[in-house]
Structure 1
Amino acid sequence: MSNSLGQYTVVVPAAGVGKRMLSSCPKQYLTIENRTILEHTVQRLLSHEAIAHIIIALGENDEYFPTTSLINNKNITCVVGGKERVDSVLAGLSYLNGNEEHWVLVHDAARPCVKHQDLTQLISYCLAHDHGAILACPVRDTMKQANHEQLVATTLDRSQMWHALTPQMYKTAELSTAITSALTKGIAITDESSAMEASGYASGLVNASSDNIKITQPEDLFLAEFILNQQKSNLSSEAICE
């Protein structure tokens, strides 16, 4: 069934090994309630009305993905990712035809708690403004800049500072060109927005829920489980009220 937002593809880079999790397997394959983080993330995305296709960039020797419930999903395409996140994103973009897939979203494999309403707001913003944007949260804490001795050098003005989240949504051809250009120039690319910024493209900030955490440390796994259960409980309560 079609919807007013359209239908989009999300590239999910999932070739990382997640060293900070101190686990025997890549973090995207750690489990929350008997499902891998990757399964939670992909199924959250595909359950949104505007997401029709997921491209997952996997490690070349990934032995875990075939054991997941995602293996036979017709809405999922797997490609071989690269050493760095940006390489995996570029591999996913290379699979797409920018002329046919005008827009693309990129989402971290380790962000299973993204809310549907935030996805809707991001897509709506990009269509309304005709340029890309990212989900983001305003910085709440006092921010310090350190010197080379890890002593406080100065206190930063947090009023204009945001935490960059994902998904990040851009025009496919522009994002591919921006990433390729940045890599050629040796510019460090930490997310899609940084590549677009380096090429002079506009990039909007769409205020999103702080639920959208990225699992990077062991304790994040328990927080993600708590958030997912809270979200599930809230959805159940809303259904009862309706």
Structure 2
Amino acid sequence: MSEPSRDKRLWLVVPAAGRGRRMGAERPKQYLTLAGHPVLVQTLARLHQAFPEARLCLCLDPDDAYFDPAWVPFGEWRRSPGGAERVDSVRQALAALADEAHVDDLVLVHDVARPCVTVADLRRLLANLREDAAGGLLATPAADTMKRDDGHGSVARTESRRGLWHAQTPQGFRYGLLCRALDAARARGLEVTDEASAVEALGLSPRLVPGRRDNIKITHPEDLALAAHILAAQREESPPTQANEESV
């Protein structure tokens, strides 16, 4: 890692190496058309609207035949090979930044399949991260009744939703902390489903930053149509100038 001799930078890590098997489509979900553009294009455009000066590391399958570099709106960006799992892609992206990133630089990791995150939520998350050494993530309080199954497809009991949150992305942490957390999780053989869980395993408590519920993750076929409706609704609710800025 570089010496602390310059201003801190903001890095964006976007894992985009998934195959999207649950979508059952002819191509990975990040390349499916959403409101006239690939999902990946919509997601990168939204991140660029919030953080035009950030530096991007885009994690792509080495054999990706769909990606077009012209889709990237960032002036400074690099491509990093994606891994077998999302956490592997993030680790490889962090390694690719090692010669430039300072331990205290902020790194935001965002799912490529979350194109509906709002600029306001992105900027509010960053403001919170600057004040919290443990990092944080966008999240929403659980609103539905939570059921625990019995392992055979029936209800075992109802769980209290008090204090439960649905984790979203981006999730943001200092570069040095995130590297340490992911390395420690791998050494201990821990399953890491998001960056926050690795940081939690160090005994830290990332901040929960309330975000909008329409920051959905496109996972199943019906999610694509829902995302299109969300983007249209967001354009309708934005002031005319902002709506124009947020179109790609």
Is 1:203 matched with 2:206? yes
Match for residue 62 of structure 2 among 52, 60, 63 = 60
**Does the 8 Å contact 2:82/2:88 carry over to 1?**
yes
Output the CA distance in 2 between the equivalents of 1:50 and 1:73.
7
Provide closer, same or farther for how the CA distance between residues 72 and 47 of structure 1 changes in structure 2, counting only shifts above 3 A.
closer
Q: CA deviation at 1:103?
A: 1.1
Q: Which residue of 2 aligns with 1:215?
A: 218
Q: CA deviation at 1:32?
A: 1.1
Output the CA distance in 1 between the equivalents of 2:66 and 2:73.
14
Q: CA deviation at 1:230?
A: 1.2
1:1-242 paired onto structure 2 within 5 Å: 7-49=9-51, 52-66=54-68, 69-70=70-71, 74-97=75-98, 98-99=101-102, 102-237=105-240
Structure 1 segments (4+ residues) deviating >6 Å: none
Output the CA distance in 1 between the equivalents of 2:221 and 2:131.
39
Provide closer, same or farther for how the CA distance between residues 22 and 137 of structure 1 changes in structure 2, counting only shifts above 3 A.
same
State how many pairs are aligned: 234
Output the CA distance in 1 between the equivalents of 2:137 and 2:189.
23
**Does the 8 Å contact 2:9/2:105 carry over to 1?**
no
Q: CA deviation at 1:69?
A: 3.2
Output the CA distance in 1 between the equivalents of 2:72 and 2:49.
17
**Does the 8 Å contact 1:9/1:104 carry over to 2?**
yes
Output the CA distance in 1 between the equivalents of 2:46 and 2:21.
25
Provide closer, same or farther for how the CA distance between residues 199 and 8 of structure 1 changes in structure 2, counting only shifts above 3 A.
same
**Does the 8 Å contact 2:181/2:202 carry over to 1?**
yes
Give the root-mean-square deviation of aligned CA atoms.
1.9
Identity, in percent, stands at 40
Output the CA distance in 2 between the equivalents of 1:198 and 1:162.
18
Q: CA deviation at 1:185?
A: 1.4
Q: CA deviation at 1:153?
A: 1.2
Provide closer, same or farther for how the CA distance between residues 199 and 89 of structure 1 changes in structure 2, counting only shifts above 3 A.
same
**Does the 8 Å contact 2:103/2:174 carry over to 1?**
no
Q: CA deviation at 1:202?
A: 2.2
Output the CA distance in 2 between the equivalents of 1:53 and 1:173.
17
Unmatched 5+ stretches in structure 1: 1-5
**Does the 8 Å contact 2:41/2:72 carry over to 1?**
no
**Does the 8 Å contact 1:46/1:54 carry over to 2?**
no
**Does the 8 Å contact 1:11/1:55 carry over to 2?**
yes
**Does the 8 Å contact 1:42/1:54 carry over to 2?**
no
Deviations 1:80-139 (A, max 9, x none): 010100000111111223426611000000000101111111111111233300100000
